[in-house]
């Protein structure tokens, strides 16, 4: 097990204008670990209820995800319901039933305690901090959160952020967090809360409009992978985080250029995730498909200026 992931393992009820599904396997740790499994071996720390069957388990073990840290407790699994509007970008949460998460006290298995790469997926910030405090050798810690926790546990969220290298959130969360509409200003405020000694990084996701990554005075922006058919955006953010952290864990390199590549792999995994309802598409991707999308991304974002044009404009293109 190389990448420790904490988050929710959930049953999701999703309504889009075109399709709907009830009680499908979801949750931040589920999407994240499935996406990361293409790059490294993830291990999950989470809790499920008695309604979590061996079939659900198999979805994760089929991808070699370590489940030693997945506790089964009396009661029902975390359940979440969301409904998307016609543009599939904005969503309303219909319900959040914490169920077994309400009394969850995470126990990091002995084997996971020395993990160097840790992703604190979307869950209560106190649980995120609790897991982190049980680890001893972290090199690179990522964190995701949600408006739900920004509204319900802001002081706890700010506290855990001090121990994190990278925060991955979406644009509306960044705005709500900082009360700043402008994302550049928001990014400065958020990086200011994080520990400067860690050279903190912030990624702000903008759904189908791509993302921006900030570290010190560096900014990098990437479009989303262009897709004709989007079935269900649920879990796109967690799949991004899984691809990103999986790639960083595999390459063990957190320099700025490699962080950009991690953004590309994160975006590729998010693009697959949204093509079918729930985790369906993540379960069937092949390495060849990932490689093809990487090449597409390269072509999509590459540009060069030829010498005559540069001379005309007085630009040094070397």
Interface ranges with ligand AMP (CB under 6 A): 8, 10, 12, 26-28, 80, 96, 122-123, 146, 148, 234-238
Nearer Cβ to ligand AMP, position 21 or 290? Answer: 21
Nearer Cβ to ligand AMP, position 40 or 145? Answer: 145
Task: Residue 67: name the closest of 57, 80, 77, 52 by CA.
Answer: 57
CB of 49 to ligand AMP, least distance (A): 14
Residues 99, 75: Cα–Cα separation, whole Å: 7
- What 8-state DSSP symbol labels residue 226? P
Helix axes 236-251, 256-273, angle to 10 degrees: 140
CB atoms inside a 10 Å sphere around CB 13: 18
CB of 313 to ligand AMP, least distance (A): 42
CB of 212 to ligand AMP, least distance (A): 17
CB of 25 to ligand AMP, least distance (A): 9
Residues 306, 309: Cα–Cα separation, whole Å: 6
Nearer Cβ to ligand AMP, position 43 or 207? Answer: 207
Nearer Cβ to ligand AMP, position 146 or 183? Answer: 146
With the C-alpha atoms ordered 191, 125, 115, 70, is the resulting torsion angle positive or negative? negative
Nearer Cβ to ligand AMP, position 120 or 213? Answer: 120
Expressed in angstroms, the distance from the first to the final Cα of the chain is 43
Nearer Cβ to ligand AMP, position 198 or 206? Answer: 206
Helices (H), the chain: 28-36, 54-61, 125-133, 147-152, 154-161, 171-178, 183-193, 236-251, 256-273, 287-301, 307-313
CB of 39 to ligand AMP, least distance (A): 18
CB of 237 to ligand AMP, least distance (A): 3
* Lookup: tokens for 252: 């063990």
Residues 200, 144: Cα–Cα separation, whole Å: 14
Residues 307, 92: Cα–Cα separation, whole Å: 51
CB of 307 to ligand AMP, least distance (A): 44
Task: Residue 149: name the closest of 138, 159, 139 by CA.
Answer: 159
Residues 27, 79: Cα–Cα separation, whole Å: 9
CB of 178 to ligand AMP, least distance (A): 19
Locate tokens 């209560």: which residue?
Answer: 124
Nearer Cβ to ligand AMP, position 28 or 99? Answer: 28
Nearer Cβ to ligand AMP, position 66 or 173? Answer: 173
């Amino acid at each position: 097990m190389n990448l420790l992931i904490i988050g929710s393992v959930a049953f999701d009820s999703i309504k889009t204008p075109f399709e709907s599904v009830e009680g499908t396997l979801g949750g931040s740790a589920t999407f994240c670990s499935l996406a990361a499994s293409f790059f490294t071996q993830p291990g999950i720390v989470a809790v499920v209820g008695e309604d979590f069957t061996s079939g659900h388990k198999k979805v994760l073990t089929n991808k070699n995800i370590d489940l030693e840290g997945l506790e089964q407790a009396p009661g029902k699994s975390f359940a979440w319901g969301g409904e998307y509007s016609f543009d599939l970008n904005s969503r309303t949460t219909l319900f959040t039933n914490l169920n077994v998460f309400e009394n969850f006290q995470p126990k990091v298995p002995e084997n996971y305690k020395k993990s160097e790469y840790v992703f604190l997926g979307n869950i209560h910030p106190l649980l995120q901090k609790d897991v982190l405090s049980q680890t001893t050798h972290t090199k690179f810690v990522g964190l995701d959160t949600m408006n739900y926790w920004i509204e319900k546990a802001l002081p706890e969220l700010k506290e855990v952020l001090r121990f994190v290298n990278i925060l991955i959130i979406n644009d509306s969360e960044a705005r709500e967090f900082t009360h700043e509409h402008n994302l550049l200003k928001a990014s400065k405020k958020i990086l200011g809360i994080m520990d400067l000694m860690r050279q903190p990084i912030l990624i702000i996701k903008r759904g189908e409009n791509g993302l921006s990554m900030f570290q010190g005075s560096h900014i990098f922006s990437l479009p989303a992978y262009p897709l004709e058919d989007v079935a269900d955006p649920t879990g796109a953010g967690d799949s991004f985080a899984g691809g990103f952290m999986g790639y960083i864990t595999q390459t063990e390199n957190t320099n700025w250029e490699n962080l950009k590549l991690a953004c590309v792999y994160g975006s590729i995994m998010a693009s697959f995730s949204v093509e079918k309802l729930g985790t369906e598409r993540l379960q069937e991707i092949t390495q060849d498909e990932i490689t093809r999308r990487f090449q597409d991304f390269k072509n999509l974002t590459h540009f060069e200026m030829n010498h005559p044009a540069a001379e005309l404009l007085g630009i040094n293109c070397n």
